[in-house]
């Protein structure tokens, strides 16, 4: 009997912001006739341009410059206003279609790219969680993988997945700011809501060496391996991605 399984799952993402501290300053002066952004009394200021360059100039500020120490970096002075990187998060696709699956092979893979812009001093993290194991309309399911018996995995611990008789649904990560436990192409399974908490798949704190930057990218490679007796059907589930900047 020919086994035909088409697996499609949708991916959604949510943004959360965690504010650990707050600093307030006069950011603008407004009236019906004018607006002054970042008011400051200084000797000289403004933007100067020519065909070959563009430069922002301020003079007379108190202690401008770059100051660094363990755990923080201070950019003092209006010349740094242009270096601020707003936080953003993007997925390359919103669904992965595995098509018809062949049993007992390790080539049933689909990938997506996560892209993060992070300029916050406290770093960031991206977490993931699934609503259920892959489930068909007949309520049959493809279980979450537990990886090879010699090096098992869970939603929090990575393991090796090299045997064609290792069945289930799982993933690995590669790229910028990916947790070190994925090194060596190791896999995990997705935590199920609500019993299991979302797990971090990308991101760093200052203690882990976070650097502000644009277009940080990582790849999530999802894998499905089924047995010869897996029930035919269309299987699907939903992954939720949670992107959290820390300020």
Q: Find the CATH number of the domain harbouring 232.
A: 2.60.40
Q: Does 235 lie in the same domain as 127? A: yes
Query: Tell me, what's the pLDDT at 32?
Result: 81
Q: Does 120 lie in the same domain as 233? A: yes
161 has a pLDDT exceeding 90: yes
Is 22 within the bounds of a domain?
no
Q: Does 209 lie in the same domain as 103? A: yes
User: Nearest to residue 190, comparing CAs of 229, 150, 148, 223?
Assistant: 223
Query: Tell me, what's the pLDDT at 83?
Result: 63
Is 186 within the bounds of a domain?
yes
Q: SS3 of 126, please?
A: strand
From 83, 104, 123, the end of a domain falls on 83
Apex CA 140: angle with CA 137 and CA 141, to 5°? Answer: 110
The residue to which tokens 């970096």 are assigned: 73
**Could you tell me the end-to-end alpha-carbon distance of the chain, in angstroms, rounded to an integer?**
57
User: Nearest to residue 176, comparing CAs of 203, 157, 212?
Assistant: 203
Q: Does 35 lie in the same domain as 134? A: no
201 has a pLDDT exceeding 70: yes
Domain of 34 in residue numbering reads as: 28-83
Query: Tell me, what's the pLDDT at 81?
Result: 59
Q: Does 43 lie in the same domain as 115? A: no
168 has a pLDDT exceeding 90: yes
User: Nearest to residue 87, comparing CAs of 67, 111, 117, 63?
Assistant: 117
Is 23 within the bounds of a domain?
no
Q: Does 198 lie in the same domain as 92? A: yes
Rounded-to-integer distance, Cα 80 and Cα 33, Å = 28
The answer to whether the pTM exceeds 0.75 is no
């Amino acid at each position: 009997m020919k086994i035909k399984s088409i697996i499609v799952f949708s991916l959604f993402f949510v943004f959360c912001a965690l504010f650990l501290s707050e600093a307030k300053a006069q950011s603008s002066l407004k009236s019906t006739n004018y607006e002054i952004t970042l008011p400051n009394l200084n000797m000289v200021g403004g933007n100067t341009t020519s065909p070959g360059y563009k430069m922002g100039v301020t003079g007379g500020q108190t202690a401008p410059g770059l100051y660094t120490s363990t755990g923080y970096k201070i950019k003092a002075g209006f010349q740094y206003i242009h270096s601020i990187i707003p936080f953003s998060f993007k997925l390359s696709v919103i669904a992965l279609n595995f098509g018809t699956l062949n049993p007992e092979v390790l080539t049933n893979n689909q990938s997506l790219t996560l892209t993060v812009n992070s300029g916050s001093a406290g770093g960031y993290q991206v977490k993931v969680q699934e609503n259920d194991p892959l489930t068909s309309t007949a309520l049959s399911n493809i279980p979450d993988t537990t990886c090879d018996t010699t090096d098992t995995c869970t939603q929090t611990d990575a393991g090796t997945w090299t045997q064609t008789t290792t069945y289930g649904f799982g993933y690995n990560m590669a790229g910028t700011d990916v947790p070190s436990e994925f090194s060596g192409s190791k896999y995990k399974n997705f935590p199920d809501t609500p019993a299991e908490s979302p797990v971090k798949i990308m991101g760093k704190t200052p203690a882990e060496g976070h650097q502000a930057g644009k277009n940080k990218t990582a790849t999530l490679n999802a894998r499905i391996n089924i047995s010869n007796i897996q029930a035919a059907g269309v299987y699907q589930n939903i992954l939720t991605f949670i992107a959290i900047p820390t300020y």
